[in-house]
Structure 1
Amino acid sequence: MGLLRNGKSVGDVSGTLRISKPSVLKFRKGDLENIPPSKAGRPSKVSKRTRRHLAREYDAGKITTRREGQRLVQSAEVAHVHERTIDKFLKMEGLKTYVQRKKPRLTQEQIAARYQFAKDHLK
């Protein structure tokens, strides 16, 4: 069963050789150590190259929001992806997304006090 060893599915081998699926499964069961594991799950709509490009743009600061990432992926792949999917892609590439906390702005008195502190502590 060279077809199974080359990574073809049971259905593909069954159709090609015109034999039943249970027959192909019997052959497969007897030769499992030489057959690569099957790929489970739905194939991704977005390529690895696009995911890496998205991560680079995000890491460089050219993209700051998930919406911008969504637009980048849609322009490259012409496929709709959800904003949460962008988070998932960034996580797959080793990056983390977060919402930056809002901080209060410094008052003029605080700015002046910091400036005076810095002047006082210069060499």
Structure 2
Amino acid sequence: MEQVGYINPSANLDAVFSALADPTRRAILARLSTGEAAVQELAEPFSISQPAISKHLKVLERAGLVERDIDRQRRPARLCAQPMADAVAWLEEFRNFWSGSFDQLDILLEDLKTAEETPNE
């Protein structure tokens, strides 16, 4: 069933927002923004196990936010920012909406202020 007026800019958008909803995954992405890292390196600042970090990485991989390679015994993870850019583009549409709403509110408040300053006859 197609919804009227519904445009999905990325079929993966739900997975991206779901992945970004967790603070641990956001921290992992922040760490990966400085360069690739293995699970052990990613687990260091957290009080959770390496298998738990691996589960978070799998969620990030499914969302397309992380890629992993095999480098001998290591499987370094690397940030993929394009899905986040798609999410930002989607959110940007709402910025335009809110900006227009705030502009209308400014006009209304200015009209109310002018009406208060005008003496009643």
Larger radius of gyration: 1
Higher relative contact order (CA 8 A, sep 6+): 2
Query: Is TM (by shorter chain) over 0.5?
Result: no
Judging by fraction of residues, say which structure has more strand.
2
For normalisation by structure 2, the TM-score amounts to 0.32
